[in-house]
Structure 1
């Protein structure tokens, strides 16, 4: 079983950035990355409870339609076994409080510290092994 990380962001450049940052891991087959362009697409993906390989969700907060904060309690109810890390350009205390209250495992601010994110991913992969 290959671990899968779901990245939820409406910006198309995010997929390119993540694939570039984690290209060695992806090439080596350490994990897969899937990308959802909206909260609704992410909820459709996470509804597949028969998919045990999903080990982490990384979601932007500000997206058109349903925001990441609105998606968060829904995805946590559907998949309480999968931690969700929220990503935002606005890392103020109020946003952090809302994210944690709604079930986020953590909140990362943009620009993303990929060394910190790599540490989080390694920890999740270790737990899933």
Structure 2
């Protein structure tokens, strides 16, 4: 499964590569990383129908994760393919308003930081 992680914190890449080391080695998951919403959209445009899941932070400079989610839902709303990727939001701010907004915009899930990687791994394996 190809996963795009979108977060403005550079150490997130190292964290994911460490926590999913076995799954990366076995080919279960392949991760790509974008450090802004704009970079994520550029990546999606350059790799149509490769990304199955996006894990996006909400609070980022420039385009927020919620704006990215809104943009993805608009661009991938109608046929023809590529098929819209699933999106899970990850944020340090677990307030109910952000959660409701993310789910209303079509997020599959809403996770809070610090990420429980065991729970995240289980969710990913169920997709």
So what's the TM-score if we normalise by structure 1? 0.87
Would the alpha carbon gap of residues 66 and 54 (structure 1) be closer, same or farther in structure 2, given more than 3 Å must change?
same
- 1:48-92 Cα distance to aligned partner (Å, 9 max, x none): 4x6333110000000001110111111122345311000001111
Provide structure 2 residue ranges, at least 5 long, that are not aligned to the other structure.
Answer: 78-83
Aligned residues: 121
- Aligned-residue Cα RMSD (Å) equals 1.4
The residue that corresponds to 2:71 in the other structure is 74
Distance of 1:34 and 1:114 partners within structure 2: 17
Verify the 8 A CA contact 1:26 1:32 in the aligned structure 2: yes
After superposing on structure 2, the runs of 4+ consecutive aligned residues of structure 1 that deviate more than 4 Å are none
Larger CA deviation: 9-18 vs 68-77: 68-77
The residue that corresponds to 1:14 in the other structure is 12
The residue that corresponds to 2:89 in the other structure is 86
- 1:21-70 Cα distance to aligned partner (Å, 9 max, x none): 0001001111210000110010111224x633311000000000111011
- 1:77-128 Cα distance to aligned partner (Å, 9 max, x none): 234531100000111111101111111111000010111111121122xxxx
